[in-house]
Structure 1
Amino acid sequence: MAESDLPSAADIDAEAVRFGLASTPYELHGALCGWLCGGGRDAAAWLAHVLADDTLPMPPSGSPLDRLREATAAQLSDRSFEFELLLPDADEPLAERSGALFDWCRGFVGAFGLASGANAPLSEESREALADIAKLAAAQPQEDGDEEDEQALVEIEEFVRVAALLMHGDCVLAPEHRQRLN
């Protein structure tokens, strides 16, 4: 497994159950991404920060939750745009995939707000994208769909992926770049 490969949703779910977390693997990944994209620190104790619960223990080194943090941070900092959302495979039912995307968005929005605060340094494009992700976070999956719905979900997933990268650029990469220039 390469450093930037995400662990499986099943492995993350099993560890989340051991930790007593009520979040799905998709919501956890969304929250971790929101935290990192909002300028939150990449730290081994990420779970307590991201879920705003200081009683949560630090994921053990090498565990699925620790590997999730490492892979996500590596993907976000990689300039090749290989960042990926942790979501079910394309052959899973539409309702499961769309529900997982909405969970991811719920996690992202909450943790992004925790990390960035009330005055995130977002471009107008990022502010609009964050508002769109917040709308997706409130959405409910539909039970069935046709080929058009399948294509729409693929496009929405790509939009969310690019939006997260854009916000990461505004909140993390731009300030780092300004620091290097000073």
Structure 2
Amino acid sequence: MSYSDLNSIILQKDAADSAAEVHGIAVAMLCLNKNTEASDWINEAFAEGPSLLQEDKVELNDLFEQTKELMESDEFVFDLLLPDEDEVLALRCTALMQWCQGFLFGMGRVQTSSEWPGDEDIIEFTKLDFDLEEEDIEEAENNLVEIQEYLRAAVMLIRSELNPAVEHSTVH
């Protein structure tokens, strides 16, 4: 599912959230509990407003399961659900901030301690100022890519810190 596909579902519900924000919620829920079900995320992210169409629930379930698989992969293939690179920079920057807001919301709904790796940085990313002059756009593009890479790594670190791998001991 693409960013625009998810945004279409959100617009049909007249929700104030964005695709990036609800994806951030999903990722946070998976960081806190790798066994979280798609239905838990759908109920949390889409609780208000009219009911979702069944086909939208199927699409959302698929997105959640895909996100879960990518986060569990050892290949570091997980990525944030954000607008494509050919979209205007302002839209991409706003979506990044919204993703961070969703992630923080998702973390805050269960995690009572604010002490987890990267929490302060992610909070700061919600306050980014992308009011740019024309000559600053290339630098801003590079900064945005760096922030996205940082967030990808931070998510994987947070997930591993909050969901330590179970050690399997061999019985002789």
Identify whether the pair has TM-score above 0.5, normalized to the shorter chain.
Answer: yes
1:58-105 CA distances to partner (integer Å, 9 max, x unpaired)?
774763211211111111111111001111122222111111100000
Look up the match of 1:136. 125
Equivalences, count: 166
2:2 aligned residue? 8
**Quick check: 1:114 aligned with 2:109?**
yes
Specify whether residues 71 and 87 from structure 1 end up closer, same or farther in structure 2 by C-alpha distance, changes over 3 A only: same
Runs of 5+ in structure 2 lacking a partner? none
Tell me how far apart the structure 1 counterparts of residues 7 and 48 of structure 2 sit (CA, whole Å). 20
Aligned residues of 2:31 and 2:159 also touching (Cα < 8 A): yes
Q: Residue 71 of structure 1 corresponds to which residue in structure 2? A: 66
Which deviates more, 104-113 or 137-146? 137-146
Opposite residue 134 of structure 1, the aligned amino acid is: I
Identical-pair percentage:
28
**Quick one: distance in 2 between partners of 1:30 and 1:150?**
21
Deviations 1:114-142 (A, max 9, x none): 13x213784xxx1xx11100111233432
CA contact (8 A) 1:48 1:56 kept: no
Aligned match of 2:162: 171
Q: Say what the alpha-carbon RMSD is for the aligned residues.
A: 2.7
Q: CA deviation at 1:30?
A: 0.8
User: What TM-score comes out, normalization by structure 2 length?
Assistant: 0.82
CA 104–161 in structure 1, closer or farther in 2 if over 3 Å, else same:
same
Asked which structure has the greater CA Rg, the reply is 2
1:109 alignment partner AA: L
Q: Distance in 2 between matches of 1:151 and 1:65?
A: 31
- The TM-score, its normalising length taken from structure 1, stands at 0.78
